[in-house]
Each structure stands twice: as structure tokens, then as C-alpha cells.
Amino acid sequence: MINKQIEAALNKQISAEASASHLYLAMASWADSKGYEGVSNFFYSQSDEERQHMLKLVKYVNERGGHAIVPAVKEPLKIFDCLTHVFQDFLDHEVRVTDYINKLVHICYENRDYTTQNFLQWYVAEQIEEEALARTILDKLKLIGDDKGGLYLFDRDINQLTVTSAAAPDENA
């Protein structure tokens, strides 16, 4: 049975993942309306991923005898100045989520809930990947600047971008 403090903390995380899913959907919609087809597909898929992160938590809380609460979600930002603005917000949001996850792991440690701590390791690894991806994309955008041809190619190729973090498990090990 899950303890109440951990249940509450996990419910907070459910809400954070739902907000991320909503924000990325708003980014996808903005990009779609501006003709950035690749970027919009990228964020539609990020939004789906965040929903999966949320669902995984919902199922875990209920499985452990708690009650996962489906949260109200605030309306996200809908207008962005440019692609750099979108991706900077994406990175900032992921950095915040990483911080939440780290705090959550710490609460588990304090409560000696090693089962939940172990469950959360998947999120710890996921956050490293997502932050690395957001930073890689932002670096590319800084190189491109206002070059229209560069932005066209960026939009065309963004979904081919994959990032393997140095912290990922070594497949050859």
C-alpha cells in the first residue's frame, strides 16, 4: 500500500505530465498554423509521449492501492514569437519536470519506498534524454538564426533527430 505523502506527490507529478502534454499540444498547433509541418509533428508526438508518462503514473498509483486523480489543466500559452521561443520553453519545461522527478525520488528515499523509487528510475532516464534533445535542437536553431533556407531544412529534418545521452546504458557493455 502506498503511503499518503507519496500518493500526493505522485498525483502532483500526474498533473505536471498532463500540463506538459497540453503545452506541447499548443506548440504543435501553433507550428501547424505557421506551416512548420515537421515541428508540429514533433510536438504532436511529444504531447502523446507526455500523456503516456501521465498514464503510467495513473496506473501505478492505482495498482499500489492509491487513487490517481485526473487533474484540471490550465490553458497553455498559445502564441509563440518564433521557433527559438518554442524550443526554449520546451527546454525550460523539461528542466522543471526533471527537478520535480528528482524531488519525488528524494521523498521516496526519505519514506523508504524503494518500490516507487525504482519505478521512477525510468522517468529519471527519460528526463536526461529529453533535456539532451531539447538542448541539441536549440543549438541547431542558434546556428541557423534567421536564415529561411536553414529553417526550411530544420523543419524538414527535425523528426530524424535522435539524441543518445552519455548517461544512457551502454548497449555494448
Exactly one of 94, 104, 113, 141 binds ligand FEO (CB under 6 A); which one?
A: 94
Exactly one of 57, 97, 134, 137 binds ligand FEO (CB under 6 A); which one?
A: 97
Q: How far apart, in whole angstroms, are the C-alpha atoms of residue 30 and residue 5?
A: 38
Which residue number, 7 or 94, has a Cβ lying nearer to ligand FEO?
94
User: Least Å distance between CB 94 and ligand FEO?
Assistant: 5
For 6, residues 6+ apart whose C-beta sits below 8 A from its C-beta are 107, 108, 111, 113, 116
Instruction: Give the footprint of ligand FEO on residues 17-76 (CB under 6 A).
Output: 17, 20, 50, 53
Which residue number, 113 or 130, has a Cβ lying nearer to ligand FEO?
130
Q: How far apart, in whole angstroms, are the C-alpha atoms of residue 93 and residue 20?
A: 7
Instruction: Extract the C-alpha cell encoding 171.
Output: 548497449
Q: How far apart, in whole angstroms, are the C-alpha atoms of residue 86 and residue 89?
A: 5
Confirm or reject binding of residue 89 to ligand FEO (CB under 6 A): no
Q: How far apart, in whole angstroms, are the C-alpha atoms of residue 132 and residue 163?
A: 7
Instruction: Give the footprint of ligand FEO on residues 126-155 (CB under 6 A).
Output: 130
In the complex, which residues of this chain contact ligand FEO (CB under 6 A)? 17, 20, 50, 53, 94, 97, 130
